[in-house]
């Protein structure tokens, strides 16, 4: 195997080297940290990461860094895309992504202690936890940046950033769009985070859910305070013809205390090819995945189905974030 670096990073546009990095050393806990300027900065780096991967695959930008990825809740995409992102940038990982039950956590170790142990080994910690606010708490105990990879029904900032990037990438802009969010708006943390990010743009929001899964009041109040044009409905048919983005989510079974309630709403929506016939030609269908029946497999071949492109963008956004947080973007 050749030891040649695969890509000369200095060949990237000069603005990259001179632009100030607002994320250096920062924990990524909530989308509230991201204003338009930071988003633009991050998306610029994200496009560079994509170009780099397309051209050469991997670089040695983060060769001297180690990321600990600890997931107290199941994950496929988020964990593997963070690990993939480190790999693509030449960094290393300590993956504790399947089997926290085999770690000291099962012996009763507190989150604060686990974090203070991991920071002895790693330069950044990617954390998914089942409790709202866990990442914020972890950041108070550590000296290395924490990246919130989902805190219960709270937030999922890196998913929201990749969602926003995908919308912009697919449709060319964020302003002027009508975004419809469909499904479990109550427990779906990706919906909470994406909604908050979108409030910075000139968008119209449509929320489609069964009654018991409506958007939480605290998020809805932020929408109202932002003065955004907003409507709620139970019926996808009300939004399908005019939406530019249909953001579909799964009903979050694991958050229900009464499983009978879950059974009542689990099959509330299904996006089918028939329904897609009524949608605009330029609409995009997105989903944070995993899907469990909300989007019919026959929709996958529709060019408007953007969910797998969305997955790919996830790695590029996380590459940009890791590089930025570690001061290498």
**Residues engaged in binding ligand ASP (CB under 6 A):** 150, 156, 189-190, 249-250, 252, 288-289
Nearer to ligand ASP, 188 or 326 (CB): 188
CB of 291 to ligand ASP, least distance (A): 8
Output 55 or 253, the one with its CB closest to ligand ASP.
Answer: 253
In whole angstroms, give the CA distance from residue 170 to residue 325.
26
> Is the Cβ of residue 129 or residue 156 nearer to ligand ASP in the bound state?
156
Q: Can you tell me the distance from the alpha carbon of 265 to that of 253, in angstroms, rounded to the nearest whole number?
A: 10
26, 46, 50, 78: the active-site residue: 78
189 vs 318 by CB, closer to ligand ASP: 189
Q: Is 107 designated active site?
A: yes
- Catalytic, 156? Answer yes
For 168, phi then psi, to 5°, come to -65, -40
Distance between CA atoms of 73 and 171, rounded to whole angstroms?
33
Of 15, 107, 143, 277, the active-site residue reads: 107
**Residue number closest to ligand ASP, CB atom:** 288
Active site residue 129: no
Cβ-in-10-Å burial (0-12, 13-18, 19+) of 315 comes to: buried
Q: Is 327 left (phi over 0), alpha (psi -120 to 50) or beta?
A: left
Q: How far is the CB of 28 from ligand ASP (least distance, A)?
A: 15
Contact (CB, 8 A) for 144 and 125: yes
Q: To which residue do tokens 């991050």 refer?
A: 42
Of 77, 130, 136, 304, which residue is the catalytic one?
77
User: How far, in Å, CA of 188 to CA of 167, rounded?
Assistant: 18
Nearest approach in angstroms of CB 310 to ligand ASP is: 11
Do residues 317 and 159 make contact, with C-beta atoms less than 8 angstroms apart?
Answer: no
Q: Where are the alpha helices (DSSP H) in the chain?
A: 15-18, 36-55, 77-88, 111-118, 134-141, 157-171, 189-198, 217-225, 259-265, 273-276, 307-325
| 18 in active site | no
Minimum Å gap between C-beta 250 and ligand ASP is 4
SS (H, E, C) 138-184: HHHHCCCCEEEEEECCCCCHHHHHHHHHHHHHHHCCCCCCEEEEECC
Per the residue annotation, which of 45, 50, 88, 128 is the catalytic one?
Answer: 128
The question of whether 78 is a catalytic residue gets the answer: yes
User: Which residue matches tokens 């419809």?
Assistant: 180
Residue 76 CB, shortest distance to ligand ASP, in Å, is 8
- Whose Cβ is closer to ligand ASP: residue 62's or residue 161's? 161
Q: Report, in Å, the least distance between residue 155 CB and ligand ASP.
A: 10
Nearer to ligand ASP, 233 or 252 (CB): 252
Q: Catalytic site residues? A: 77-78, 107, 128, 156
């Amino acid at each position: 195997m050749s030891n040649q670096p695969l890509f000369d990073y200095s060949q990237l546009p000069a603005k990259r080297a001179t632009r100030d990095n607002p994320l250096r050393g920062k924990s990524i806990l909530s989308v509230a940290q991201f204003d338009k300027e930071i988003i633009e900065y991050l998306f610029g780096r994200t496009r560079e990461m994509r170009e780099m991967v397309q051209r050469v695959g991997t670089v040695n930008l983060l060769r001297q860094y180690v990321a600990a990825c600890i997931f107290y809740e199941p994950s496929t995409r988020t964990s593997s895309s963070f690990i993939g992102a480190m790999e693509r940038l030449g960094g290393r990982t300590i993956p504790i992504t399947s089997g926290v039950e085999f770690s000291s956590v099962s012996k009763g170790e507190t989150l604060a202690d686990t974090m203070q142990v991991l920071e002895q080994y790693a330069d950044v910690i990617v954390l998914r936890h089942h409790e709202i606010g866990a990442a914020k708490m972890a950041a108070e105990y550590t000296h290395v940046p924490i990246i919130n990879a989902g805190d219960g029904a709270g937030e999922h900032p890196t998913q929201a950033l990749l969602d926003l990037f995908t919308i912009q990438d697919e449709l060319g802009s964020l302003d002027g769009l009508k975004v419809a969010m469909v499904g479990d708006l109550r427990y779906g943390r990706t919906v909470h985070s994406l909604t908050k990010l979108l409030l910075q743009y000139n968008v119209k929001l449509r929320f489609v859910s069964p009654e018991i899964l409506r958007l939480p009041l605290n998020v809805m109040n932020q929408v109202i305070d932002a003065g955004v044009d907003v409507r709620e409905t139970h019926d996808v048919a009300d939004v399908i013809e005019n939406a530019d983005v249909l953001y579909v989510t799964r009903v979050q079974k694991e958050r229900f205390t009464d499983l009978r309630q879950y059974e009542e709403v689990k099959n509330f929506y299904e996006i089918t090819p028939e329904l897609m016939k009524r949608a605009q030609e330029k609409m995009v269908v997105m989903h944070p995945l995993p899907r469990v029946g909300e989007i019919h497999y026959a929709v996958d071949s529709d060019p408007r189905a953007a969910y797998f492109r969305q997955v790919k963008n996830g790695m590029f956004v996380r590459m940009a974030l890791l590089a930025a947080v570690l001061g290498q973007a």
